[in-house]
Amino acid sequence: MKDVNILKNHGVDVDKALELLGDMGMYNEVMNDFLSMIDEKINLLNKYKSINDMTNYAIEVHSLKSDVRYLGFMALGDLAYELELKSKENDIATVSAKHDNLINEVNKMIDLCKQYLNIQTPAEVPAAPATVAPQVVTNTAQMDPMSQALMFQDNRPVEDISNETTQKNGIILIVDDSEMVANFVKKVFNAKYEVVICKDGNEAIEFCKNDENRAKIKSCLLDLNMPNVDGFHVLEFFKQNNYFVKLPVVVISGVENQDLLRRASSYPIIGILSKPFNERDVTMSVNQCLATYF
């Protein structure tokens, strides 16, 4: 059993995180998602800082801020937010002065998460004992009646039944460069919907150009602040191609800039979902899409 005091004793606000993620099972899954993608984010932050690309640095540190706050690392979130603001102001001197501290704190977070999850480094993992491959019975006539009953149900092998896919109710399209946030939303809806994740606006536009894909979308959750092609470019493309007639869009925003929010609201969107959001919030947004369009 994982000891949550490992986190709390280091100032992690687990209770605040659970207000968003619901329970420790979801919290642990989201933390694993964070660990799976954080190395790439660190590499990008280092890259953009080294070439003084403050535009893309701001986008990446904004995403980092959201991710760590979801997990209750509020002090690190505050540091990331400070550098987000400074990079948006193109304050290269301040970003350069505090960037190494940010990366050091992220690495401390990684170590703490691994300690909590009891993730061993490769050198610490003991060699697995040799195992003997199980004997596979291919001639069911050699099996006793009970084994045959377990092997076949409704005249089909059990393995075939377990591989069946549940009928989905359409597509939930998530357009967000934060893999952790996108995966959290996917966990919420994956049982009922086919969940498609696009990491930037260009991926979303290409997906929606396909008439068959677009017809299945029950809700598009669109982040505004993304690298390469941002959410406003997607909104404008949808408007120019008259997609809003049948494609419900909820804008995801982690910014408090009222001008940007008013600009987003000038498009025929269903609403705005503010980060950080919880399962109830995102479910209400999707239900609003369904009630309005379907």
pLDDT tens per residue, range 52-85: 999 999 989 989 998 999 999 999 999 999 999 9
What's the chain's average pLDDT? 86
Is the domain of 184 the same as that of 282? yes
Residue 161 lies in a domain: no
Place of tokens 């760590």: 68
* Predicted structure pTM score: 0.76
Task: Say if CB 170 and CB 194 are below 8 A apart.
Answer: yes
Residues in the chain: 294
Is the domain of 107 the same as that of 14? yes
- In sequence order, the β-bridge partners of residue 220 are 173, 249
By residue range, what is the domain housing residue 38?
5-117
Q: Measured between alpha carbons, how far apart are the two ends of the chain, in Å?
A: 44
- Domain termination residue (choose one: 54, 88, 117): 117
- Domain termination residue (choose one: 117, 134, 150): 117
Q: What is the sign, positive or negative, of the torsion defined by CA atoms of 64, 65, 66, 68?
A: positive
Is the domain of 113 the same as that of 9? yes
- Give residue-wise pLDDT tens across range 229-238: 899 999 999 9
User: Which one-letter DSSP state was computed for residue 108?
Assistant: H
Residue 262 lies in a domain: yes
